[in-house]
Structure 1
Amino acid sequence: MMARRVSIKDVAQRAGVSWKTVSNVVNERPVVRADTRAKVLAAIEELGYVPNLVGRELRGGLIRTIALVVPELQNPYFARLAERMQAAARERGYTVSVEVSLHSAETERAHVRGRTARPVDAVVISPSGLDPEDLLDRVSGPPVVLLGETLPGAAGVVHVAIDNVASAADVVRHLVAGGHRRLLFLGAEDAVRSTGTDRLAGFRAATRFAGLPQDPSLVRGVGEWTREAGRDAALAALEDGVEFDAVVAGNDLLAVGVLAALHARGLEVPGDVAVVGWDDTAEVAWTRPALTSIAPDLDALIAAALDAAIGGAEQGDAEKSGAGQSGAAAGRVAEAVIAHRLVERESTRAVPTSSPPAAPGA
C-alpha cells in the first residue's frame, strides 16, 4: 500500500511541537528557539516532509493539479502530449503542470517522491533516468503513472503505453509485404527494459519468423533519439558498407534524420530504401516523402493516464479521511496497453523481389 503524504501535523507530532511552530520553521520566521528549530528540522528530514500549502494540508482535500513530467519539449511528441493532456484534464476539473526534466534523474526522482516546491495530487511521468528503486523507497509521495518507459519491479504505479513489441512486428510485416529483405534497426538500447529494447525484441522476433537475415550489423544503437542521431547512424551504416533496403527507426525524429542522410547520399526513398518511424508526429506528414509511422491512440493514452492519476489521487484523499483502502499492490506495476496503428505514407512501397537489392552505399 502506498504511503500517504507526510503532513505538517506528522512533523509536529514527531518533533513534539505544535503545527504552528513547524509552520514558523518552514517559513523561516525568527520566533523559534534554536533548539526547537533543530528538532523540527530533524523531524522534517527523518520523515521526508516536503513543505506544501499549509492551509490545504490542514483542511485536507485535493488541489486538483497533476504534474506531467517529460524529458524534453523539443520532441514534437511530448509537446503534443502536453497540449492535449492539458485540454483533457481541464474537462475533468484538473489542471496540468508541465515539468521538463531535461533527462535529469535527480529532477525525476524529486517529482515521484513529492519533493518539489509546488504540491500536486499525482505525477504522470515519461522517465528517462529513473531506476525501479526510486519508486520502491519512497517514504511518501503522490500517485505515479509511467508513460512509455516502464520500470520493472517498481511498486504501486500504473504503466500506460502501446504494445511496443507488437507494433514493431507490424512494421516488419508491412515491410516484408512490400518486398524488403534487409531491414536496418536504429534505436537499440542496453537498458534492462525500455521502449527501445521492446521495439527491438519485436523487430527481431518478426524478422526471424519471416526468415530475414539476422545480421548483427543491421542493428544499431544511438546515443539520443534525435534527428541528428538518426542522420549520423544512417550515414555510419552506409560508410560501413552495410547492405539494407529499409530502415526501422525507433521514433519519428530518428526517421527524419535518416531521410536527410539518404537524400545527402543521392538515394531515393522508397525506391532505394524504405523508412518507418514511431509516434506519428505532425511533421512526418510534411516530410518529402511523407513518412510511414506507428501512431499510438493518443486520446486513449491520455485518458488512461488521467484515469489512473485522478483515481489514485482521489483514493489517497479518501484514505486520509478513513474512507478507503489502497488498491495498489506492493511490488506490482499495473499495465494499461493502448491501441496503435501503422499509418502508411510515401516512404514505404512494394519493391521487386526477384533479386536481392544492391547495397545502398555501393
Structure 2
Amino acid sequence: MASGSRSAGRVRLKDVADRAGVSMKTVSNVVHDYEFVSPQMRERVQAAIDELGYRPNLTARRLATGKTSMIALALPVVDQPYYAEIARYIGEEAERRGYRIIVEQTLNGVEAERAVIRDREEGLVDGVIFHPVRIGTLEIARLRPGTPIVLLGESARPLTTDHVMIDNTQAARDGVELLLAENRSRIAFLADVRGDITESTHLRLLGYQEALLTAGIQPDPELVLRSDGFTIEDGVAAIAAAIERGIHFDAVLSRDDTFAMAALRALQAAGRSVPDEVSVLGWDDTVLAHSSTPALSAISPDKFAIATTALDLLEDRMKGYEGTGRHRIAPYTIIERGTTAALQR
C-alpha cells in the first residue's frame, strides 16, 4: 500500500503486518502485549506501528476481549493544584501499566457524581477512580456500581467499595504539634469555609482541636477563621479581617496550600514577618509550595502512593476480585521549608 493511500484513511492492522512482514496475528499479539512474543519480533512490529501511526480500534478490542484498556478518572475539578497533580500521577502510572485515562470533572454536582456511580462509563472503560464530594457512603453503597471503582478522598467510605485516603485527622494533629514545638501558642486555622461540603475540612479541624486539647490549650473559636470561599482572595480577606479585629495569632494551619498562600500575602500586607512573627503551614504540598517566597512548609500527602494504591486496587477488581471493600491509608510527611521555624529542642 502506498503511503498516500494510508494517509487518506485509518491505518489497519493489515497495513502494519505488511510493513513488518509478519502475520496479522503477530501484530495483534504485540498490540495486546502477549508475553510469548520474542523481543526481536516485538521491536520489529512496534517500529512498523510507530512508523505508520497505527492506533488500535478500541471498539473492536472491546468486542474481542471485553476490555478497552481505558480508565475513567472523575475529579471534582481539574484546575485546583492538588487534583491536577493527582491526575498527573494517576495518568503517568496508568500509562506505565498500559492504560489510557479519561479525565472528567463533576464540578461538585450531585447529579454528575451520581452519573459516575450509575455506570455512565459502562462499556467505555474497564474501571473508574472517583473522588466524590457530594454523595456519601450509604448512597454509593445502595447504587452498587457495576463497573469496578475505587474511591479517593474523605467523603464516602462504603464497606463494599475500595477506598484510598490519608489520615487527615492525624496529619492535622501532627501539623499542630510541629507548630507547638516552635513555641507557638496561638495557632489559627484557615479556614472554615461557609457552605463547605467537604469532609476533609471537618477532619482537619478535628485534628487541630485534638492536638490543642492534648497540649492543655483550650481551643479559641476566634482562631478558626471564616472564609466566604476557597480562593486566595477569600483567604486574604479572612486573615485581614482577623488582624483588623485585633485577634492575635502566631501561627496558621491552612486547610490547603491556596489558603497558605493567602496567609503569606495577607501577613506581608500587614507587615508581619514569616516565620519570625507568624509560622505558616500549608497542606497538600502542591506546586504552590515551591513557588512562594519564602518557600511554603506543608503537610505532604504521598500522591504517588495514592495513585499506585488506587490503581492496584482497581486492577484487582478489573481482574475479578469481588471481596469486601479494602480501605487503604496512604502515607504523608510534613516538609519544613521557609515558612516555619526550626524546631525548638
Determine the C-alpha separation between the residues in 2 that align with 1:295 and 1:60.
40
Partner of 1:80: 85
Alignment gaps of 5+ in structure 2? 1-57
Q: 2: CA distance between counterparts of 1:340 and 1:243? A: 30
Task: Give matches, 1:198-237, under 5 Å.
Answer: 198-237=203-242
Amino acid at match of 1:251: D
Contact 2:181 2:343 in 1 (8 A): no
User: Offset of 1:136 from its aligned partner?
Assistant: 2.4
TM-score, length-normalised on structure 2? 0.76
Higher relative contact order (CA 8 A, sep 6+): 1
Question: Once the 2 structures are TM-superposed, how far is the Cα of residue 117 of structure 1 from its aligned partner?
Answer: 8.2
Mapped partners of 1:123, 1:303: distance in 2: 14
Secondary structure, aligned partner of 1:181: coil
Write out aligned runs for 1:11-160 (5 A): 59=64, 61-116=66-121, 119-138=124-143, 140-152=145-157, 154-160=158-164
2:266 is aligned to 261
Distance 1:213 1:182, change over 3 A: farther
SS in 2 for 1:137: helix
1:157 deviation in Å?
1.3
1:80 Cα deviation (Å)? 1.6
| Range that drifts further, 249-258 or 107-116 | 107-116
Larger mean Cα displacement after TM superposition, 167-176 or 142-151? 142-151
* Residues 290/115 of structure 1: CA separation in 2 closer, same or farther (3 Å cut): same
Q: Which stretches of structure 1, 4 residues or longer, exceed 6 Å deviation after superposition?
A: 53-57, 189-193
Is 2:245 aligned against 1:240? yes
SS at match of 1:345: coil
Q: Does 1:281 align with 2:286?
A: yes
Q: Distance in 2 between the 1:149 and 1:263 partners? A: 33
Aligned equivalent of 1:318: none
Instruction: Report how far residue 227 of structure 1 moved.
Output: 1.9
The letter of the residue matching 1:215 is: D
Q: After the TM superposition, which residues 184-203 of structure 1 pair with which residues of structure 2 at under 5 Å, given as runs?
A: 184-188=188-192, 194-203=199-208
Q: Which moved more, 1:225-234 or 1:74-83?
A: 225-234
2-structure distance, mates of 1:60, 1:155: 30
Which residue pairs with 2:323 in the alignment?
A: 327
Q: Is contact 1:180–1:351 with CA below 8 Å preserved after alignment?
A: no
How much does 1:185 deviate? 0.8
Q: How far apart, in 2, do the equivalents of 1:284 and 1:204 lie?
A: 25
SS at match of 1:151: coil
How far apart are the structure 1 equivalents of 2:126 and 2:298? 34
Single out whichever of 185-194 and 284-293 deviates more from structure 2: 185-194
Aligned counterpart for 1:342 among listed residues 326, 334, 338: 334
CA deviation string 1:140-177 (max 9, x = no partner): 4312212122314x342122111111111111111111
Aligned: 1:307 with 2:312: yes
Distance 1:200 1:288, change over 3 A: same
1:97 deviation in Å? 0.9
| In structure 2, C-alpha distance between the alignment counterparts of 1:139 and 1:165, rounded to whole Å | 28
| Per-residue deviation, 1:118 | 7.2
Q: How many residues matched?
A: 286
